[in-house]
Amino acid sequence: MEIKKLVFIRILIAVISLEIPLLFCNNTERGENKFIDSLISVMTLDEKIGQLVQIDYGTISHERAVELVREGKVGSLFNLGILDNCLKLQRTAVEESRLGIPLIIGQDVIHGFRTIFPIPLAESCAWDPKISERNARIAAIEASACGVHWTFAPMVDIARDARWGRIAEGSGEDPYLGSILASAKVRGFQSNNLSKNNTIVACPKHYVAYGAAEGGRDYNTVEISLITLHEIYLPPFLSAIREGALTIMSAFNEINGVPASANPYTLKSILRDNWKFDGFVVSDYNAVNELIAHGFAKNMKKAAMKAFLAGVDMEMMGYTYFNHMKELVEEGTIQEEQIDKSVRRILKVKYRLGLFNDPYYGNKEREQKEILKKEFVKQARQSARESIVLLKNEGVLPISDKDLPLAVIGPLADSKEDLLGSWSCYGRPEDVISILEALREKYSDRNILYHKGCEIIGGNKKGFQKAIKIAKKAKTILLVLGEASWMSGEAGSRAYIGLPGYQLELAKEIRRNTNKPIIAILVNGRPLAIKWLADNVDAIVESWQLGIQHGPTVVDILSGDYNPSGKLTVTFPQATGQEPIYYNHKNTGRPPVGERRRYVSWYVDLPYGVLYPFGYGLSYSKFDYHDLEIYPRSLSINDTLHIKFKITNKSNIAGKEITQLYIRDISASITRPVKELKRFKKIMISPKETVKIEFKLPIRECGFYNENLEYVIEPGLFKLWVGPNSAEGLEGEFIVK
C-alpha cells in the first residue's frame, strides 16, 4: 500500500515535470538529481520549510507529531523510542502527507543501540579502527532493525580537558588518532551501501571546537587561535567527511565570538568551499534558538536568519525555522532558491538511504532477530578487553588461586547502570553483568567477600568498618571505585576530577588498616586525578565504562585470561588544577625539566609532569624496543622517511603492543608541539619473539598551519621517537632540506 503511494508520487512528479525517465529513476547521480529536482518543483514553500525542521518526539504528544508529519511541517523526528512509533509516523509521512516524502528518523546511537559497547573514550584506548568500525556496524544493524535511519555520531571532538564531561564520548586528545577512528566509525555506520536497510547515516559532531570549552565547563565559550582550530579540532571532521559522512552537526559553543551554529567561516568557507561537503548540516538541540542567549541574535527570527544564511540546513528543535522561515522568505531576506538548496541536500540524504524506495527501516521480525545477538555480545566483550588500560602493576596481577579469597569493596562493584556509561541508548541495566557477579562466577561465592563501603557520591562513612573487616579476612583486596554514569557525558562537567564522595577516604582507611595487596579497578568516563591511589595501591586497572560485558571483561584481565593491551588516549593529571593537559603541548620558554627550581613553567604545589602520559598502558608481557634505523637522514619535502626498529617480547606471555611514532619539529616559524603522533601499530608478539616494525612517513605529513593558515613544511631538524607511549622510546632525528 505505502510503496504504491511512493510509486504514485513518482508518476505524479514525472508527469508534472514531463520527466518520464523519472519513472525508472535509479541510483545513478543523474536519476537522483532528476528525482530531487522534480520533487522540489512540486513542493510548496511550507513543505520545503518542513524538510528543514527536526523535532524531538519526546517533547510533543503523539497526536501532535502525527499532525505535523501529515501536514508536511517536519522532515525529521528523533527519540521515537520504539519501532512501532517509527513505523507509524513513517506511515503517516508516506501515506497521509500530500507528497508522501519519508521522514529521516534520528537517534543518538553513540556506543551501541541495545548491545552497549565501551564508551567511545574507552574504545579509543584499543587504538584499533577495526574494533571501532565493527562496533559501529553492529550499532547500525540494531538501530536500523528498530526503525532508525540516522545516528548523531560519531562524536569527534578533540578533548584536552578532563573536567569536560563529554570527553567520555570522543576518542581523546589526539587529532591523528581521532581522525582515524572517526573514519572507522563512519564506515561502520554507513557501510559501503547506504541504501541497504541495515545501514544508517553518520553525523560527526559537534562542529566545531566544542571540546575547547573554557574551564572544561559544558556549553562554555571557546576562544582558540585559528591555527589551533585547523591543526587540532578540524582534522577528525575532515576525515569523517572524506569517509563519506553525509550529515554534520553544528555545535552549541561560540568560537572566538561567533557561535558555531551561525558561523559562516566554519560552515561555509571551510565545510562547503574548502572541503566540498555536499551533505546537510543539522544544528545541535536548540542551538539556533540559543543564538539569542549568546547575544548574537536579538530574537528568534534573526536567529533563524543568521543560522540559515551561515549554512545550517536543518534545525534541531528550537522552532525558529518552523516559526519564522516563511516570513523571512516572503519579505525577501532569504531567497526561495536558498531554501531549495538546503531541501535538496536533505532529500539527497533521504534518497541515498533508499527511503524513496522503501521508507520502512526495521520490522518486528528484524527487531527480534537482530538485537543482542550472540555474536554482538561476543564483540562487546572483545572490544571491552581491548579498551581496558592497566595503569599500575607491582607484581600483583594477574590473580592466581593463592590470592583468594578476595575482598571486593567499593560502590561500583555491584552497579550495572553505571557500567553502561552516558548515552547508553536502549541499553538496559539487566543486560549488564556487574563486576561482582562476574567475580563470583569466576572464583565462586565462597572466595568473594563483598561490602560496598560507601556510596559513589554523598552518603557517609558508616560502611567503612564492615569494609575493613572483610578486607582483613581476605588475601587480596579489590577496590572498585569511580564515577556514576551521569557524572560524565553531556552537562557532566566536574570541577574536581578526583574520586567523588567518600571513596578516597575509604581507600585510605583500607590501606591504613591492612597490609594486603590492593588492586584498584576504576569505573569512570574521564581521566581522574588519582595520585594517592597511584602512590599507595599495588595495581590500578582503568576499566572506564565498558557496557554490557564490563564485569566479565574485568575478570578476564584480573585473572590473566586476557593480557591487557589498551593504552591511554588522554593524559592523566596529578591534580585537577593541571587541566587542560595534553601531551602535544608547546615547550614554552621555560620548560620544567631536571631538578625542581623556581622560574619555570610549573606549579609550586605539585611535582613536575603528568601522572600517566598519553599512549601509556601496561601489559603482562614485557616489551623491549631496540635497533632503530632511520633513512634517509636528510630528505626533501616530497620524500618519504623510513623508520625501522625491533620489539622483543622478553616475557613468557604472548601480548599485544601498541607501538607509536612521534615527531617534533625543533624550530619553526610557528612554535611546534613537543611531540606529535604520526603513526601507530598494534601487533601481537609471541613469548621471546622479536618483531621488525617499519613505518613510512611522507615528509608532507610533517607540516603545520602558518600564520596565513597555509599548510607548510619548513626545512630544518626534526626529532623522532618510537616507543610504547608519548613519554618513552628510542630517539632519532632527521633533516628536511
Residue 205 or residue 350: which is nearer to ligand NOJ going by CB? Answer: 205
| Residue type at position 349 | V
C-alpha 706/C-alpha 492 separation (Å) is 35
Interaction between residue 285 and ligand NOJ (CB under 6 A): yes
Interaction between residue 108 and ligand NOJ (CB under 6 A): yes
Residue 152 or residue 583: which is nearer to ligand NOJ going by CB? Answer: 152
Residue 197 or residue 253: which is nearer to ligand NOJ going by CB? Answer: 253
Site string for ligand NOJ, 663-702 (x = CB under 6 A): ----------------------------------------
Residue 205 or residue 550: which is nearer to ligand NOJ going by CB? Answer: 205
Contact 538/396 with Cβ under 8 angstroms?
yes
Enumerate the β-bridge partners of residue 78: 56, 106
Rounded to a whole number of angstroms, the minimum distance from the CB of residue 119 to ligand NOJ is: 14
Interaction between residue 173 and ligand NOJ (CB under 6 A): no
Rounded to a whole number of angstroms, the minimum distance from the CB of residue 693 to ligand NOJ is: 38
Strands 655-665 and 676-685: antiparallel
Interaction between residue 205 and ligand NOJ (CB under 6 A): yes
Site string for ligand NOJ, 231-270 (x = CB under 6 A): ----------------------------------------
Say which DSSP state 169 is in: G
Contact 211/166 with Cβ under 8 angstroms?
yes
C-alpha 387/C-alpha 370 separation (Å) is 25
Reference 287, options 241, 254, 257; nearest CA is: 254
Show the cell assigned to 399.
Answer: 590473580
Q: Return the HEC string of 71-104.
A: CCCCCEEECCCCHHHHHHHHHHHHHHCCCCCCCE
Contact 87/147 with Cβ under 8 angstroms?
yes
**Options 284, 313, 418, 665, the catalytic residue:** 284
Active site residue 639: no
Rounded to a whole number of angstroms, the minimum distance from the CB of residue 422 to ligand NOJ is: 10
Determine how many CB atoms are found less than 10 A away from the CB of residue 20.
10
C-alpha 414/C-alpha 427 separation (Å) is 17
Interaction between residue 111 and ligand NOJ (CB under 6 A): no
Residue 142 or residue 284: which is nearer to ligand NOJ going by CB? Answer: 284
Rounded to a whole number of angstroms, the minimum distance from the CB of residue 488 to ligand NOJ is: 13
DSSP letter string over 9-40? HHHHHHHHTT-GGGGG--SSHHHHHHHHHHHH
Q: How far is CA 64 from CA 59, 61, 103, 383, in A?
A: 10, 5, 15, 41
Residue facing ligand NOJ at closest CB distance: 152
Contact 674/729 with Cβ under 8 angstroms?
no
| Residue type at position 567 | K
Residue 181 or residue 528: which is nearer to ligand NOJ going by CB? Answer: 181
Q: Return the HEC string of 309-365.
A: HHCCCEEECCCHHHHHHHHHHHCCCCCHHHHHHHHHHHHHHHHHCCCCCCCCCCCHH
Site string for ligand NOJ, 464-493 (x = CB under 6 A): --------------------------x---
Rounded to a whole number of angstroms, the minimum distance from the CB of residue 164 to ligand NOJ is: 12
Q: How far is CA 141 from CA 110, 135, 348, 366, in A?
A: 13, 10, 22, 9
Interaction between residue 149 and ligand NOJ (CB under 6 A): no
Residue 487 or residue 557: which is nearer to ligand NOJ going by CB? Answer: 487
Show the cell assigned to 355.
Answer: 527511503
Residue 113 or residue 351: which is nearer to ligand NOJ going by CB? Answer: 113
C-alpha 253/C-alpha 250 separation (Å) is 9
Site string for ligand NOJ, 519-558 (x = CB under 6 A): ----------------------------------------
Rounded to a whole number of angstroms, the minimum distance from the CB of residue 735 to ligand NOJ is: 45
Rounded to a whole number of angstroms, the minimum distance from the CB of residue 78 to ligand NOJ is: 7
Residue 47 or residue 108: which is nearer to ligand NOJ going by CB? Answer: 108
Give residue for cell 624550530. 667
Residue 110 or residue 145: which is nearer to ligand NOJ going by CB? Answer: 110
How many residues at the interface with ligand NOJ, by CB under 6 A?
6
Residue 178 or residue 615: which is nearer to ligand NOJ going by CB? Answer: 178
Rounded to a whole number of angstroms, the minimum distance from the CB of residue 169 to ligand NOJ is: 8
Residue 251 or residue 305: which is nearer to ligand NOJ going by CB? Answer: 251
Residue 285 or residue 695: which is nearer to ligand NOJ going by CB? Answer: 285
Q: Return the HEC string of 689-721.
A: CEEEEEEEEEHHHHCEECCCCCEECCCEEEEEE
DSSP-derived 3-state class of residue 475: coil
Rounded to a whole number of angstroms, the minimum distance from the CB of residue 166 to ligand NOJ is: 8
Rounded to a whole number of angstroms, the minimum distance from the CB of residue 108 to ligand NOJ is: 5
Reference 528, options 564, 496, 555; nearest CA is: 496
Query: Residue 701, CB half-sphere, CA atoms under 13 Å: how many?
Result: 16
Reference 231, options 155, 160, 166; nearest CA is: 160
For the chain, how are helix, strand and coil distributed in percent, rounded to 5? 40, 20, 45
Q: Which of 133, 157, 254, 284 binds ligand NOJ (CB under 6 A)?
A: 284
Q: How far is CA 421 from CA 366, 388, 499, 551, in A?
A: 26, 15, 16, 14
Contact 456/418 with Cβ under 8 angstroms?
yes
C-alpha 397/C-alpha 563 separation (Å) is 10
Interaction between residue 645 and ligand NOJ (CB under 6 A): no
Rounded to a whole number of angstroms, the minimum distance from the CB of residue 390 to ligand NOJ is: 31
Interaction between residue 152 and ligand NOJ (CB under 6 A): yes
Contact 722/625 with Cβ under 8 angstroms?
yes
Interaction between residue 189 and ligand NOJ (CB under 6 A): no
Question: So which residues are the catalytic ones?
Answer: 284
Report the interface residues with ligand NOJ, using CB under 6 A: 108, 152, 205, 284-285, 490
